[in-house]
Every structure is written in C-alpha cells, then in structure tokens.
Amino acid sequence: MSEALTTEPSAGPEQPQSTLPPAPPTRRSRRVRRLLHRPGLVLSLLFVAVVLLAAFWPDLFTGRDPLRGTPAEILSPPSGRHWFGTDELGRDLYARVVHGAALSLKATLIAVAVAFVVGGGLGLVAGFAGGWVESVLMRLVDVLLAVPGLFLSLAVVAALGPGTVHVALAVGLAGVAGFSRVMRAEVLRVRHTVYVEAARVSGVRWFAVLGRHVLPNAAGPVLALATLDLGTAVLSVSALSFLGYGAPPPAPEWGTLIADGRDYLADAWWVSTLAGLTVAALVLAVGRLSRALDDENAAQR
C-alpha cells in the first residue's frame, strides 16, 4: 500500500519582523544611574539634606530644650537617653548640635551669598569692561588675596563686633577675591565666543549681551565654587565662633560647642568631639557635592 501523501498547508510568505531600537535613556534616567553608581555622592546628598532640615525644622529631630540643663546629668556620656551626651551644665548635646545648625548655616549662607554677589559682580564687570576698569578692580582683588582669609575675617569682625551676622559678613568679604578671579576668567572665555560677537555686531545693547549671553554661560564654575566655599565658610564661621566672636552664650553655635569642651577633653571627650565630627562631616559632604557639580559642568562644555 502506498503511503498517503500529506501536505501541510502553506503558511504563506513570512512577514518581516520589525525590530525597533530601544528608546534612548532620558537625561533624568542617566542622572539616576550615575547616582546609583556613586554611593558617596548619595550619602553626601542625604547628609546635607538632613542638616538643612535640622536647620529649618529642628523639632523633627529632637524635642529637648537646648538651653535647659539637668544638674544630676552633668557630663553624662553618650547613651540611649542622650545620644551625644551632656555638657558641663547637664544640657543635651544632641539637641544643642541640632539647634546650632540653624545659627551656623545661617552665617554660612550669608557669607557665601556675600562672596558670590560681591565677588561675582566685580569679576563680571572687570572681565566684560576690560581696560582701566579691569586693572583697578583686579588690583583691589590682588590686595585682598595678599591677606590670609582668616586674618582678614578677624580684622573685619573685630571692627564690626561679635555676632552671627557680623561673623558672616567677615567670612563673606574674605571670600570675595576667589569669586572675582574665577568669574573674570570665565567672562574672558565667554566674551570672545561667536554668539557673543554676533550679538554685538547685530546691535544688541551691552547690558542685554551681559545678562542674556555672558552671565548664564559663565556662572557654572562660579556656582561650583560657591558649593565648595560652603565647606570653607562652615570652617571659618566655626573658627570665629570658637574664638568667641559668634553669638553670645548660651547660643549653641557649633564653634562655641567645640570651645566649651576644651577644658573637659580628658574626662568628657564627647563634648567637643561629636560637635567637631558634625562640622567635619558637613565639610566633606559639601566638598563631594562640589566635585560632582564641577564634573557636570566640565562634561557639558
């Protein structure tokens, strides 16, 4: 018997399968991926965010009064009841560090704002105007650079008197020279670019060229310097408070907290150490953020 021949029905011509390329990642997703691969940057962001929250809403972190002491708990070591221990008057050091963030960061932000506005303005005018204006302004900046920043801050705060705002102004004036030099260098770089020359040739007024083209393209490195200067300003403000030029006692400024523990380092190391570690951690975190911002500006050039 012959085997029956079976034929399969033809499936017809194969349809071409369209393979679309995957959508390119967005800028936000790329930034998220970079953050996930840089845990140090993430920790720095979290720590700075916590300090900012403590500065504006200290009650989120502690309900204790930073000015109220308990005589029975004088110089108590760190424990579950007092995370940072207590000072020589029985006051909770954790509460004082948290509430002191408002005073220290207030002075720091004022100092950086003064240095950014005054120094950036001098560098912007000097770089854009050129000629004798640039020479006069840069010689003034050179005089400021010739004096060490801490000595200049001490001279200014000695003339103004103690106080948080006076300390902030002193630290800010000491940082003017650095901002001026960086802003002037960036303005000189941007001033001779094609789009700025084209705007000038087309008859755009000089202040429009300055505000629309020069300033936005020259501000990136200055902003990175402002972020880095936050750490330097924290150290300078704390140093002046340590020397007694900050807010008068019993205000819990960080520098004052460190100074209060000098006489108890042998028996109560936590009084100065934990407040000092908070300042050091904030400076390191801000420096890490500044390097990340500088790398981002360099990648966009």
Nearest to 26 by CA among 34, 15, 37: 34
> Is 2 domain-assigned?
no
Task: Encode pLDDT of 74-96 as tens digits.
Answer: 999 999 889 999 998 999 999 99
User: Whole-model pTM?
Assistant: 0.78
Containing structural domain, residue 135 = 39-300
> Is 256 domain-assigned?
yes
Q: What percent of the chain has pLDDT over 90?
A: 33
Q: What is the C-alpha to C-alpha distance for residues 190 and 224, in angstroms, rounded to an integer?
A: 17
Considering its fold, how many domains does the chain have in total? 1
DSSP-assigned states of every residue in 77-101: PS-SSSTT-B-TT-BBHHHHHHHHH
Q: What is the C-alpha to C-alpha distance for residues 56 and 232, in angstroms, rounded to an integer?
A: 21
CB 178 within 8 A of CB 224: no
> Is 296 domain-assigned?
yes
> Is 100 domain-assigned?
yes
> Is 170 domain-assigned?
yes
pLDDT at 17: 53
Task: Encode pLDDT of 138-158 as tens digits.
Answer: 998 988 888 888 888 999 998
> Is 5 domain-assigned?
no
DSSP-assigned states of every residue in 32-61: HHHHHT-HHHHHHHHHHHHHHHHHH-GGGT
Q: What is the CATH number of the domain that holds 116?
A: 1.10.3720.10
> Is 11 domain-assigned?
no
Sign of CA dihedral 161, 102, 152, 140: negative
> Is 21 domain-assigned?
no
pLDDT at 206: 66
Q: Within its chain, how far is the Cα of 156 from the centroid?
A: 23
